[in-house]
Amino acid sequence: MDRPISRFRAAYGSSPQHLIAMIACFTLAGWVALRIAEEATAGRMLLWFVGAAVAHDLVLFPIYASADRVLRGALGRASHADSQSSTAHHPVPRRVGQAPSRPSPLNHVRVPALAAGLLFLVYLPGILRQGRETYLAATGQNQHPYLARWLALTATLFLVSGGWYVARRMRWRRVGSLNG
Amino acid sequence: MGVTDRQTGFPHRWWRALERHPPPVPGLDGRRWRSPLRGPWLTAVYGAVLLVGLPLVIITGLLDYAAYGPQFDQALPRDVGWLRLPPFDWPTRPSWLFRVTQGLHVTLGIILIPVVLGKLWSVIPKLFIWPPARSLAQMLERLSLLLLVGGILFEIATGLLNIQYAYLFGFDFYTAHYFGAWVFSAAFVAHVTLKLPRMISALRSRPALRDRHRPGQREPVRAELRTPLTATRPEPRDPDDLVAIAPGAPTMSRRGAISLVGGLALLLGALTVGQTLDGPWRRTALLLPRGRQPGTGPTGFPINRTAAAAGIQPDETGQRWRLTVRGGGRIVTLDRLRLLAMGQHTARLPIACVEGWSTRQTWSGVRLRDLAALVGVDDPASAQVRSLEKAGLFNQAILQANQVRDADSLLALRVNGVDLSVDHGFPARVIVPALPGVHCTKWVAEITFRTGTDG
């Protein structure tokens, strides 16, 4: 009883249940593909389906990962130089057990940038005024306000984040001078 | 199980040959991945959120299809075979039913976008691993992952474009979004079947909220949600190849990464939910079409299709307008004054659209069942409502028996105490509790009541 199963595992690479799950998945997807093939725009749909995965994995991800790497590099160098000079005047404060580290500006740039980028992607049609006619037919309005609103939201995100950083930094200095 | 096994399957020689011949792409050995946060635990956290959230989006999507009345062949896409819920009559109560199912579908779908992106970020090193597969099982699973990832991103993209009226894709939205959802659901179910045990074991591998004391060890294992940046360490090496081989120093704690995704989800939710709310809260949907009121006063609430877009001419809706009511072999023609002279009923009902927006208004007009009685049909099995609109996907709709008979189902003549505006369907429009907005036909020209025997 055990041998056929283990031989199946060795040859297939997983359990029979795995194969059943795969067959069920591809049967349904195959049925849909056959049904969609009747549509005149089937090729476009396939293009968008595969394109969505490609656009995320090979375009969006590399872009945001590289941007983050550049940002880390730039802020890392800046804060390294900064911390070398600042440690001379303000030695890193020490409390029992744990040393509060100097706040890094990295996440205070990263988070609002990520949020603004996400808002741009999600609400892109309004911001870039895509589909003007269908928009007008459906709502009786234009798409004029969205770009300015997105810019205002982006500015707010960066301002709040920057303000928070300044506050953290000031608190850190105060704690440092108290302990030092 | 799955893509994690190191052993090659049949035919071994082929899989080993594949393994020995990586393409000349840098980074396939996995040393370029530096984030110390990646690992089974973090992936499992995002996975668990999606495991709860995505089924809700799928089910509300299927319910919305059912709300369109597939039994009358008027749900889109039409020819779906057995890929639908079993047929049932869409209820009229509670009257906010469609408002909630559709609002949940769109709003939750948007809220989950950062979680989907976070989950994809956490597993992306596996996309660039060589060899991509060592057995038939792994190859099939990789293919199913293309359906999973392509499926969810396709649904997000088409859905987002639809609610913002930008049909950049050039194919029928309903067909693509509906069948895309089935492909995604198939891959989702397969993925959950294969990965659920791994998700649970990964979640258990690290404490989330409370420090875990291990027998014989003095230092407890710190709970992830209480671990600051300074104490953040990579997860132990895993069989799933998610943990970086050469991790860099952390720039964010794991709880920070979870808060970031959660915060982005909240931000999207806060900027979306307004389109389902009335009053000043609507304006909080700052970047969505339905965050703006098209006008002021009692008819200033959002519309779904302008009279101009529907090709409605002013003379068609003026003195010349007549409503034709048919049923049981009889035809009655009424002008607006005669309709206003009939018994008027007022109901506070929401109107909700597939784009996820909704609004509740006070409608008044003639009950549909009173119009049926006018032509002697006391127990209508269905009613077909036709608009003045000549072309257009929604220039007619068929209503179920319960939708005709409901005491709040109206041929509305007035809204919020004034005549309908022409963009809201003047001279007369249908409003039925829990019925999708596009089936609340505007500029009604003709209603045909059918009894059970008409077929």
Of B69, B145, B385, B208, the residue nearest A22 (C-alpha)? B145
Rounded CA gap, B149 and A59, in Å? Answer: 15
**Lowest mean pLDDT, pick from B40-44, B62-66, B210-214, B235-239:** B210-214
User: In this predicted structure, what is the pLDDT of residue B150?
Assistant: 98
For residue B97, what are the contacts with CB-CB under 8 A and spacing of at least 6? B67, B91, B434
Q: What is the pLDDT of residues A50-105, one digit of tens each?
A: 999 999 999 999 999 999 999 999 987 766 555 444 333 333 444 444 556 788 99
Give the one of B2, B149, B166 whose C-beta lies nearest to A53's C-beta. Answer: B149
Asked whether the beta carbons of residue B168 and residue A106 sit closer than 8 angstroms, the reply is no
Tell me, what DSSP letter sits at residue B425? T
- Chain pair A-B, CB pairs under 8 angstroms: 223
Question: DSSP 3-state assignment of B333?
Answer: strand
B263 contacts in A (CB within 8 Å)?
A: 111, 115
- Give the mean pLDDT of A34-57: 96
Mutate to test the interface with B, among A41, A58, A123, A143 (most CBs of B within 10 A): A123
Interface residue A114 vs chain B (CB under 8 A): yes
Residues B9-56 pLDDT 10s: 998 999 999 999 999 887 787 888 999 999 999 999 999 999 999 999
Q: Are B261 and B275 in contact (CB under 8 A)?
A: no
pLDDT of residue A89: 38
**Are the Cβ atoms of A14 and B186 closer than 8 angstroms?**
no
What ipTM is given for this predicted complex?
0.94
Nearest to B259 by CA among A42, A119, A110: A110
When scoring A9, A18, A66, A143 by the number of chain B Cβ atoms within 10 A, the one with the most, hence best to mutate, is A18
Q: For residue A132, which of B353, B275, B165, B294 has the smallest C-alpha distance?
A: B165
What pLDDT, in 10s, does the model give residues B183-232? 999 999 999 999 999 999 999 999 999 888 888 888 888 899 999 999 99
Q: Does B391 touch chain A (CB under 8 A)?
A: no
Whether the CB-CB separation of B26 and B130 falls below 8 Å is answered with no
- Scanning every residue of chain A, which has its alpha carbon at the shortest distance from the alpha carbon of B179? A32
Q: Which residue has the higher pLDDT, A166 or B391?
A: A166
pLDDT tens column, A130-144: 999 999 999 999 999
Q: Which of the four pLDDT bands, split at 50, 70 and 90, describes residue A2?
A: low
Q: Does A45 touch chain B (CB under 8 A)?
A: yes
How far apart (Å, rounded) are the C-alpha atoms in residues B335 and B321? 7
Q: Which residue has the higher pLDDT, B386 or B216?
A: B386
Closest among B214, B254, B247 to B232, alpha carbons compared? B254
Record: contact A140-B306, CB cut-off 8 A: yes
Q: What pLDDT does B393 receive?
A: 86
What lies within 8 Å, CB to CB, of B326 at 6+ separation is B332, B375, B446, B447, B448, B449
- pLDDT tier at A175 (50, 70, 90 boundaries)? confident
Residues 71-100 of A with CB under 8 A from B: 72, 98
pLDDT of residue A95: 43
Q: Nearest residue of A to residue B154 by CA position? A: A49
Of A110, A116, A108, residue with least CA distance to A166: A108
Q: What is the mean pLDDT of residues A151-174?
A: 96
Please report, rounded to a whole number, the percentage of residues in chain B having pLDDT higher than 70: 98
Q: Which residues contact A37 (CB under 8 A, 6 or more apart)?
A: none
Mutate: best of A31, A41, A49, partner B, most B CBs <10 A: A49
Q: Is the dihedral of CA B319, B323, B324, B330 positive or negative?
A: negative
B325, B331 contact by CB (below 8 A): yes
Residue A7 scores a pLDDT above 70: yes
Shortest distance between the Cα of A88 and any Cα of chain B, in A, equals: 22
Among candidates B8, B83, B306 on the partner chain, residue whose Cβ is nearest the Cβ of A137? B306
Positive or negative torsion for Cα B369, B373, B379, B380: negative
Chain segment B172-188, per-residue pLDDT in tens: 999 999 999 999 999 99
Instruction: Decide if pLDDT at B430 tops 60.
Output: yes
Contact A52 B171 (CB under 8 A): no
**Pure H helices in B281-354:** 307-310, 314-317, 336-341
The per-residue pLDDT for range B77-129, each reduced to its tens digit, is 999 999 999 999 999 999 999 999 999 999 999 999 999 999 999 999 999 88
Residue B287 has its nearest CB partner, among A11, A138, A146, at A146
* The residue type at B56: L
Task: Please state, in angstroms and rounded to a whole number, the distance separating the CA atoms of residues B416 and B158.
Answer: 35
At A33 the pLDDT is 97
At B376, the amino acid letter reads: G
- Please name which of B51, B197, B60, B64 lies closest in space to residue B116, comparing C-alpha atoms: B51
Which tokens go with B83?
A: 């890929």
pTM summary value: 0.94
One-letter-per-residue 3-state SS of A39-97: CCCHHHHHHHHHHHHHHHHHHHHHHHHHHHHHHHHHHHHHHHHHHHHHHHHCCCCCCCC
CB contact under 8 A, B83 and A101: no
Closest alpha carbon to B326 in B170, B174, B196, B447: B447
Cα-only R_g, chain A: 27
Query: Is B287 in contact with A17 (Cβ distance < 8 A)?
Result: no
Calculate how close chain B gets to A89, using CA atoms only, in Å. Answer: 23
Nearest CA in chain A to B286: A149
Give residue B204's pLDDT: 95
B287 touches chain A (CB under 8 A): yes
